[in-house]
Amino acid sequence: MEYLGNLKFGEDMQRVSAGFVGIGLWIVTVSTGWAITITEPKAGAVFHPGDKVMVRVEADEGEILKHVLIWPLKNGGSGVYLVPPYKLEFTIKPTFLGIEEISVSGKLPNGDLVEAEVPITVVLPPTTKIVSIGADFDGRNETFLQIARKPNGDFVPSGSANENTLSISADYSDGVARDIKNNPDVTYKSLNEKVAIVILPGKEGNPYDELALVKATGPGKTSIIVQYGELTDRVTVNVKECPYTEGMKRCPRP
């Protein structure tokens, strides 16, 4: 769960931990006919990281709600109880980018619940650019993998020791480091595919939707070149060969 940012309140409130249900509709009414509406921000509003966002909620027909619980984040987490006027301000985290839902749940005097949400989009200003990129295996620029050789000479994976995930981050001109693993403009190249290959996120053979997967194909040492535009970084892959045994998870220790 990634939070949009820090909260600021001017009304009585109580911070609680709760989950949100009913994701998917901007306004949800119940059998009473009453509803609540998020009047600010508007659905689809666009913000930048670090912006302050004011959330305002109104009850239809002037209905007085027992309370309003607001989540300035997606799919539950930590919410805030507010009393009239129903509003709060929060600051979007400098690292957050993408689409997020602001969720609201209100309780009527008779105990019925009414719910609403609006999506907002967080994008970088056009003047903010990537100045450098970095690739790593769990914080290291080198990984040690294993490959098993059958008696007939064929190489086969040696369990989980045969592969590792590769993370990509970028330093931006606003001084903030952000993850760019989902950026479609990032490319990967193995300098020797007889030693290791790269499988892109979500592709066959890679169970991860957001991380590239480096897999050993043969013994030796090679580099993986990661590129974004004219910016590049490289990581090193070392692959050790060992004899194959049925059901092996990693090469036996010498």
Check if 5-122 and 130-243 are the same fold. Answer: yes
- pLDDT band per the 50, 70, 90 thresholds, residue 23: very low
Q: Residues of the chain with pLDDT > 90: what percent?
A: 38
How confident is the model over 130-173, as pLDDT tens digits?
Answer: 999 999 998 899 999 989 888 888 888 777 788 999 999 999 99
Options 1.10.3720.10, 2.60.40.10, 3.30.365.10, 1.10.10.10; which CATH number does 5-122 get?
Answer: 2.60.40.10
pLDDT over 70 (residue 97): yes
pLDDT over 50 (residue 24): no
- pLDDT band per the 50, 70, 90 thresholds, residue 252: low
pLDDT at 73: 55
pLDDT over 70 (residue 7): no
Q: Residues of the chain with pLDDT > 70: what percent?
A: 77
Minimum mean pLDDT among 16-25, 67-76, 106-115: which range? 16-25
Mean pLDDT of the chain: 79
pLDDT at 150: 83
How far apart CA 80 and CA 250 sit, in angstroms, is 49
pLDDT at 105: 82
pLDDT at 32: 42
pLDDT (average), residues 91-102: 87
Task: Could you please state the CATH topology (level 3) that the domain comprising 130-243 is classified under.
Answer: Immunoglobulin-like (2.60.40)
Per domain, the residue ranges of the chain are 5-122, 130-243
pLDDT at 193: 96
The residue among 195 and 30 whose pLDDT is bigger is: 195
pLDDT over 50 (residue 200): yes
How confident is the model over 180-195, as pLDDT tens digits?
Answer: 887 889 999 999 999 9
pLDDT at 12: 33
